[in-house]
A and B are shown apart, each in its own frame.
Chain A
Amino acid sequence: MSQTALLSFFSLIWLMVLAVCAFLIIFVAPIHFIFLEDPYDRLIISFIQASLAVFTVIILVLALSKLKKMYLRRQLRIR
């Protein structure tokens, strides 16, 4: 039971990682097209991409934290 629950927990985390990758590819990576002609494009693009990527990772960490609490409540019966 414990092993099955852990495997489901890891599968869920894996799906969350894939979701973050998909978000970055669909929404963050194509940003450079907007600034194609700008002479400062490289710096601007990197700054915007970095900010969005960091924000996305923070959301992932918060979601993982929430998931961990839900899992622990079930498994360890911690309030």
Chain B
Amino acid sequence: MLNFNFLSDIILYGVVVSVVSFFSVLVLMPSLIKILTTKGEVVQDYHKAERPRIPRPAGPVLVAGIGIAEIILYMFTADLRVVAILLTSVIAFIIGYIDDKRVMPGWFKPSALVLAAIPLVVLGAHDSYLNLIFGTAYIPLLYIPLILIAVPVVGNTINSIDVLNGAVSGFVIITSIPLLISIAIFGDNTIFLSALPLFFVSLAFYKFHKYPSRIFPGDSGTLLLGAMYGSVAIAGSSEIVGVIALLPAVMNSFLFLSSVKRIVEHREVKSRPTILTEDYKLAASSEQGAPVTLLRLILTGGPLSEDSIVHQIFMLAAFSSILSFVSIFIQYYFLEMH
């Protein structure tokens, strides 16, 4: 739990890392949009009538915002766990950046992301106890393979929800709120402070990514946010709470994998889960072989416009965050009261 004996430090460091991460993205992003547009590093936005060309990836500015804030926090605290979270995020960014620049096979991201989890293990950012809502389990050995699996899973889960304008940035903003509260209760001061840039970077990025998008995050941006989400959840003893908050994205990945039965990129799947109608709305595909995704489930009620679908994704994220809050309450009752 947060140690309020250091309340003035929490407020001072918290304000510094929040302001630095938020304004870094806000100030640097317009320049990146210009540079990428000039260099022709753009992709078509297929869900709009005029098919605008949108610059991609936003990852370099997101990693700059997180990097600057975490380095400042490390200078304040000299806590190696901050370095572990930063390294995990940066490695995930590099893996995503490679995937942005070259067409890599489907297995590349999940396998390479195991590397991103190594700093958490080597620098001892994890605990030996796993909070399981109704109590804790002491798993000193089992925890290490769990970390090596969790970071790639969360990274790819966040990556899979990057389907429409503003979806991934808004999703991370909403679902990082219960995570931050959980870390404040079950984690400690340093991890809470190191998790703040995740929320503030996503918040600043949403300004550019919301419908209609001015820039796309790319794999470098989504893997960065996903790996950071996973690493702060692990370091902040909030693993299950984090999984519950991410349920819509977790189910999206699960539905996709269980329908295509192998690890592949979305571009490699022949049948699309959704179709574009003549009035540029999205509709669920009626093809039996089409993969099942969250988007397809949302569209079972009928065709919807892009911004309406994103709104529904946010509603689901808010709902899973409420479930996450209930889980935090149950966990607090069992761990702190008993």
Contact = CB atoms under 8 A, between A and B. Distances in A.
Interface of A: 1-3, 5-7, 9-11, 13-14, 17-18, 21-22, 24-26, 28-29, 32, 42-43, 46, 49-50, 53, 61, 64-65, 68, 71-72, 75-76, 78-79
A11 B134 contact: no
Contacts of B137: 24-25, 28-29, 49
A53 B254 contact: no
Contacts, number: 92
Nearest to B135: A25
A46 B247 contact: no
B243 A10 contact: no
A3 B248 CA distance: 12
Contact of B297 (A6, A14, A25, A46): A6
A68 B292 contact: yes
Size bracket, chain B contacts: 35 or more
B316 interface: yes
B133 A42 contact: no
A68 B253 CA distance: 13
A29 B135 contact: yes
B121 to A, nearest CB: 15
B327 A78 contact: no
Given A2-B300, A68-B258, A76-B296, A21 B133 contact: yes
A46 B139 contact: yes
Given A10-B316, A42-B141, A72 B247 contact: no
Contacts of A14: 244, 247, 320, 323, 327
Given A6-B316, A10-B248, A10-B316, A42 B140 contact: yes
Dominant secondary structure of chain A at its interface with chain B:
helix
Contacts of A13: 247, 251
Contacts of A71: 297
Interface string B303-322: 00000000010011001100
23 contacts: A3-B298, A3-B301, A5-B300, A10-B251, A10-B319, A10-B323, A14-B320, A14-B327, A17-B244, A21-B134, A22-B133, A25-B132, A25-B134, A42-B140, A46-B140, A46-B141, A53-B142, A64-B254, A68-B254, A68-B255, A76-B300, A78-B288, A79-B288
Contacts of B211: none
Given A18-B327, A29-B138, A46-B140, A10 B320 contact: yes
B58 to A, nearest CB: 29
B240 interface: yes
Contacts of B316: 6-7, 10
B297 to A, nearest CB: 6
Contacts of A28: 137
B54 interface: no
Contacts of B292: 68, 72, 76
Contacts of A6: 297-298, 316
Contacts of B283: none
A65 B251 CA distance: 10
Contact of B132 (A21, A64, A75): A21
Nearest to A1: B301
Contacts of A21: 132-134, 240
B172 interface: no
A10 B141 CA distance: 32
B284 interface: yes
